[in-house]
A and B are shown apart, each in its own frame.
Chain A
Amino acid sequence: MPESRLRFEDLFVGYEIPGRATHILRRQIKTYADASGDQNPLHQDDDFARAVGFPGIIAHGMLTMGELAHCLTDWLGDPTAMVRLKVQFRAPVFVDDVIVAEGRVKSLDPKARTAVLDVWVRVEREGNTGYPIRKGEAVVGFAER
């Protein structure tokens, strides 16, 4: 697949990164458990999840961080441009939730050819679509090619 790489010169402060929406499915959470090695029953066993106060299993925080990084690497067209990503997990994500990963350019360093991004993930849920259930910051770098 041909890749179009984003250039540092294309960016400006306030630039909005195209969002990536994902419908979270139970089998996707199971696939993530097997791929990551995180077999915590909180992500597989509804009875266990209820016993610790949730209505049912929740998605791995890291699954949603993976979706956020996927949003960024799709936009960059180049996974090697990822320098740093820091995310806070602020609220749970449940089976059948639709999550949307998004971001915005916060600052640019022309000398280092790096950009700092505000990034977040929100859930499209009845009555509340704006709260960032994941919130963080990324640094992406554009080496001279």
Chain B
Amino acid sequence: MTMNAALEGKVYPDATFTVEPERVNLFCAAIGEERDIVPPTFATAAEFAVMPFIVGDAELGLDFTRAVHAEQEYEWRRPFRMGEALTVRSRIASIRQKAGNGFLTIETEMLDRGGALVVLARATMIERGA
């Protein structure tokens, strides 16, 4: 089975993600960060607020057990602020088939309460051919 390429452009429902101090501390512990900051790549935790929608999207048909993360990009407009609530919105930027493998690129916007972009994430996964 291959992914449904007709779903390019599909936007998933918004999720809310709060930058909780306990979670930031755990993240800092995982990457050895000792300063009192929100590490830039903590944005990954916000992306995972939406990931279940994509993995569980029967219409898309991504086989997550054959998927590997191939590429990741972040653009930061400013750092996350401790305690702030963000709106997380993902869309399918592209679906491609190449040499028997599927390539899925998801773009995720993380917006502040005023709707301003804080972080843009772009994740590309390869679904290896069965």
A residues within 8 Å of B by Cβ?
A: 1, 3, 22, 28, 31-32, 34-38, 40, 52, 61-63, 65-67, 69-70, 73, 79-80, 82-89
Tell me the count of chain B residues lying within 8 A, CB to CB, of chain A: 35
Q: Is B78 an interface residue (CB 8 A)?
A: yes
* Contacting pair B40 A73 (CB below 8 A): yes
- Where chain B touches its partner, the secondary structure class is mixed
Of the candidates B41, B70, B78, the one whose C-beta lies within 8 Å of that of A80 is B78
Contacts of B79 in A (CB 8 A): 79-80
Are B41 and A89 in contact (CB-based, < 8 A)? no
A38 touches B32 (CB 8 A): no
Q: Which of A35, A85, A88 has the most CB of B within 10 A?
A: A35
User: Closest CB-CB distance, B69 to chain A, in whole Å?
Assistant: 5
B40 touches A85 (CB 8 A): yes
| 20 A-B contacts (beta carbon < 8 Å) | A22-B32, A32-B30, A34-B26, A35-B29, A36-B27, A36-B44, A38-B44, A65-B41, A69-B39, A69-B41, A70-B31, A70-B32, A70-B33, A73-B37, A79-B38, A79-B39, A84-B74, A86-B122, A87-B71, A88-B70
Interface pair A86/B71, CB less than 8 Å apart: yes
CB-contacts of B32-62 with A (<8 A): 32-35, 37-41, 44-45, 48-49, 51
Task: Check A88 against B71 for contact (C-beta < 8 Å).
Answer: yes
Q: Is B72 an interface residue (CB 8 A)?
A: yes
**Pair count A-B, CB < 8 A:** 99
Q: Are B32 and A67 in contact (CB under 8 A)?
A: yes
Provide the bound-state CA to CA distance between A143 and B77, in Å: 13
Give the residue name and chain of the B residue nearest to A70 (CB): B31
State whether the Cβ of B12 lies closer than 8 Å to any Cβ in chain A: no
- Tell me how far the C-beta of A20 lies from the nearest C-beta in chain B, rounded to whole angstroms: 8
B52 to chain A, nearest CB (A): 9
- Tell whether, in the assembled complex, residue A62 and residue B74 are in contact, meaning their CB atoms are under 8 Å apart: no
Task: Give chain B residues whose Cβ lies under 8 Å from the Cβ of A40.
Answer: 64
Min CB distance, B125 to chain A, in Å?
A: 10
Chain A residues, CB < 8 A from B70: 88-89
Q: Which of A73, A80, A85 contacts B74 (CB 8 A)?
A: A85
Please state if B75 and A83 are interface contacts (CB–CB under 8 Å).
Answer: yes
Selected from B26, B51, B76, B78, the residue in CB contact (under 8 A) with A35 is B26
Q: Which of A1, A22, A34, A69 has the most CB of B within 10 A?
A: A69
